Amino acid sequence: MKDDEKNALIEHRIARATNTIEEVSFLIKNKKFLLAVRIYYGMFYILSALSLKYDFSTSKHQQLIGWS
């Protein structure tokens, strides 16, 4: 993967994480706690961006958790 493609993907994952975390914040403020478990995905997206920055890429949650 070229550096510009890699950076674009990292930025996309950061944006996705940010949007998800903002949505979860809204859910918590509105006492929708069962739906707020989506925070997990926000953390997954940001961790996947970080792992890509350090040349580790996977779509598997367990592998990503093991890497971190």
Q: Is residue 27 pLDDT above 90, yes or no?
A: yes
- Please count the CA atoms within 13 angstroms of the CA of 43 that sit on its side-chain side: 9
Could you tell me if 15 and 48 are in contact, meaning their C-beta atoms sit under 8 angstroms apart? no
> And the tokens for 57?
């890429």
**Residue 30 pLDDT:** 96
Q: Tell me how many domains the chain contains.
A: 1
What is the pTM assigned to this prediction?
0.82
Tens-digit pLDDT profile for residues 4-24: 999 999 999 999 999 999 999
Q: Domain range for residue 34?
A: 3-67
Q: In this structure, what are the phi and psi dihedrals at residue 60, rounded to the nearest 5 degrees?
A: -90, 125
